[in-house]
Structure 1
Amino acid sequence: MALCNVVSKYCFLQRPACQIVCSAGLKNIKMPPNYDHIVLPEKRRLRFVDKVPMFISGNMKVPRTHKHLDLLRGPEEVHNYLIHNQYGIVALKGGRMTYRHFEMIRYSIMRKLDIKKMFAVWRVDDPWLPVTKKGLGQRMGGGKGAVDHYVTPVRPGRIIIEVGGKGSYEEVLPYLRSIALRMPFECIPCNVQILEDLKREKDKENTQNINPYTTEYLIKNNVGNCQRWMNKMDLKYFGKYL
């Protein structure tokens, strides 16, 4: 008994000061998430996007249309949710995606995404809207210019790409954020919880606003003859989606 006391006293004196105050605690380690219910598709990479629409043949003259700026404004009412209920990139403002933006997203996903356990799908159409452009040094007039390239119009709230599989949101967040920063319009990486929070914030602004003189009230009642200098998109969406 005395030997045990001496040994314990010796060990106590030789122990550093930083190790004197210590106690054993119960560690609650969380279980990793289970992804057994997720079924991976056969094609897990983003497919190649055509630079020119498929309906354009070699001998066909491309129809030159208007700019269709109304396709960039207003809420997205169809592709505004995640089909696989996992991760993706959502547009906060309207804009146009060219062929270069599609290739940038595709190459970024190919380099960073683990195809063995993850997959990615497009949620936007291929470039289909023709954009005309005149050459440098040409005079004004002479009609509308020739078709230069094709774009895809995107409205606020549109899901651009969707990523899913056997992985967490923290794994895909770094390269989804880098893709969103290089887009021509404002985008953010998202999951189901982030989309619900964005929708809840919009509802909160409409329900908890105590100021009765909203933009919708001013436009509908033509306060200050404001309808005279407003366009049809402002009259339809009441100053939103600029």
Structure 2
Amino acid sequence: MRLLLPDLSSLTDVRTFVGRARQIEDGGAIRLVGHGPVLVMYAAAMHGGGGPTVLAMRVLALAEPAEFDATVPLASMADRFARIDRLMAGARPTPKSVGKPIEMPVPPTTATNAGWAGMAPPRTGWAVEGLLPQDVLRSAAKTGIDEVAAGVPSGSGAAAVARLRGIIWGRPLLGDDAPAVPSGVAFAAEAFGFLGRASASADPAQEDAATLHSAGRWWRLSTSRGHVLARSGALGF
């Protein structure tokens, strides 16, 4: 199966999303869902360990409508990008080729380690809970990343690391008296580049705030760059 993307910049967008997901879990997976003229991409920022399931979501336009739902290994997607690079090697961009649709093959292999892909967040019924400044999210992400790094001794097993991450990222982002959105949404938003780049000269009040939504057990954090979806885990966070 092949997807027809509008142009090279759209392919770069998919490649960036896959690359960021691999930095979190190199052996992970990506879920690709075609809904007519749009492509919805999901990747797990965290899952397992008793903590919350936190997914990054990015929506792109397609040059040709498609209807499908495939969850494939991230490594297989990287192989497809390498093939495209080889085919395009030596091709000099021209004004006509820059905006020309480009085919992206979807790997035929189904990922077997992505139980999170079966957890479908609702498409409708989301209620707005409020706005979150991006500097608050960046600060929460940095604090959690530092805590995870400090709490993982050398040689720790994968299960111990996953449980620690579940505890840290499952804590309420805004405190006990606020909506119980897990801190993991801050980590995912930062790790996938949905918060943009922080600038020392930027006024936090002038930055785009992230919008927080809820629907049942699900939370959604939305910015102009993408969305983070989170659902509480077995630890009760």
Pair in the same fold by TM > 0.5 = no
Structure number with higher strand proportion: 2
Q: TM-score by structure 2 length?
A: 0.19
Give the number of the structure whose alpha-carbon radius of gyration is greater.
Answer: 1
Q: TM-score by structure 1 length?
A: 0.19
